[in-house]
Amino acid sequence: MITKGDDYPIHQLPIPIAEVGTERNFYDRYFFNGYNKDGTIFFATALCVYPNLNLIDGSFVLVFDGIQHNFRYSDILNQERLDTTVGSLKVQVIEPLKELKVQVIDPDKGLNVDLNFVGRFEPMQEPRMVMKNGPRTTMDSTRMTQHGTWIGKISFNNREIEVSKDEYKGSRDRSWGVRPVGLPDSQFLPPLQIPQFYWLWAPANFEDLTSHLYFVDDSLGNPTHSHCVIQHDGEVDVLSDLRKEIAYKKGSRRISEAKFSAKKSDGSEVSWILEPKYHIYMCGLGYMHPEWGHGHFKGENQSTYDSYDLNEDPHDPPFLHIQAICKFTLNEDDKIKEGLGVLEELLIGPHSPSGFEELLDGSK
């Protein structure tokens, strides 16, 4: 099927650009978050196409005064992967790898968003992530992460939020490949085992630098995937020997404090202390949502709105997956710097160092 993308010199196979192989779970996603200096206002958006499901969906989350407002959109893709608009949500590339625009014009829900994300440094390519369940590949994806500033305006229910580059920072990522989307597989792989996934992802902005690190652990606490980068102006340092020390709120899987350390290329030690202020629920953006999950067919041009009181904390699906807005304290070259960022947490199944033995048991 010939589409608009075929008019651009971006082919990698001798087939139309709409074709992405035989894997039904292929996806291609934008993700952004943003926050003001004290973290009291937070927003995030996601937009994703699923070429082999012929679907597109997206969402926008706005947090203030302790309430998370969730706007979700879904439509048929019609194979046009360059039409990055779904319902009232639009993501536009202004200058590749440097500036993008996010717009949501939804008068029925009282929302008007016009924001530009401008990268502070070059995007970082994370190592390719491949995960398997026995012989079956469950994830095979590439992601790039970039820190930046925001400028524009958000209007919701007669509240106007002016977003300036001096006041608002955030991060974005672009990921694509294969991961579970849409309806689950109808046939499980025997023998049945307790699902296990331990995921920490922590991008942060400081005044004159940025940092990014993440972990994926197996049930014994061994990192199967990890990565750590610090970016100064004109300088990128990929760190090694990444370690962590995690404390949890009693009886839960919510992190109360996280300590990370790593070594720079010159051998010097860098450490972080992360102190969560509050957290938002990723199901507001479709992650693990039972009805508006990623790649679920909702019909043509569908949308919905709901809200969560962040003073309440369900610990069951779909509320397991969170981003905690955190104060970051960085010790680099014996200099202490404070910043703001998120600690994304998705902790399912056993993890020996944490004392987790069952699917959703909490800390002792």
Whole-model pTM? 0.96
d(CA 106, CA 61): 13
Of 323, 363, 361, 10, nearest in space to 171 by CA: 323
**What kind and span of H or E run contains 349?**
none
232 bridge partner residues: 209, 235
- Return the bridge partners of 209, or none: 232
* Ordered DSSP codes for 46-66: EEEEETTTTEEEEEEEEEETT
Q: For each of the chain's 364 residues, which pLDDT tens digit applies?
A: 888 889 888 888 888 998 898 899 999 999 999 999 999 999 999 999 999 999 999 999 999 999 999 999 999 999 999 999 999 999 999 999 999 999 999 999 999 999 999 999 999 999 999 999 888 899 999 999 999 999 999 999 989 999 999 999 999 999 999 999 999 888 888 888 899 999 999 999 999 999 999 999 999 999 999 999 999 987 899 999 999 999 999 999 999 999 999 999 999 999 999 999 999 999 999 999 999 999 999 999 999 999 999 999 998 899 999 999 999 999 998 899 999 999 999 999 999 999 999 999 999 8
Tokens 């992460």 identify what position?
145
Q: What is the pairing mode between strands 302-309 and 136-156?
A: unpaired
Q: Is the peptide bond before 127 cis (omega within 30 degrees of 0)?
A: no
Find out whether 315 and 253 touch, Cβ atoms under 8 Å: yes
| Cβ contacts of 296 within 8 Å, gap of 6 or more | 55, 57, 74, 182, 183
Sheet (strand 335-348) strand order: 235-238, 223-232, 209-217, 197-205, 335-348, 322-332, 269-281, 255-263, 240-248
Distances (CA, A) of 302 to 86, 87, 252, 323: 9, 7, 35, 26
Structural domains in the chain, CATH included, are: 4-181+194-354 (2.40.370.10)
Contacts of 101 by beta carbon, 8 Å cutoff, 6+ apart: 90, 91, 92, 94, 114, 115, 116, 117
Dihedral angle at the C-alpha atoms of 177, 180, 182, 186, nearest 10 degrees?
Answer: 130
294 touches 56 (CB < 8 A) = no
Contact partners, residue 210, CB within 8 Å, separation at least 6: 120, 121, 147, 203, 204, 230, 231
**Do 340 and 169 form a contact (C-beta atoms < 8 A)?**
yes
Q: Angle 63-69-73 (CA atoms, 0-180°, nearest 5)?
A: 125
For residue 259, give both structure tokens. Answer: 């300590």
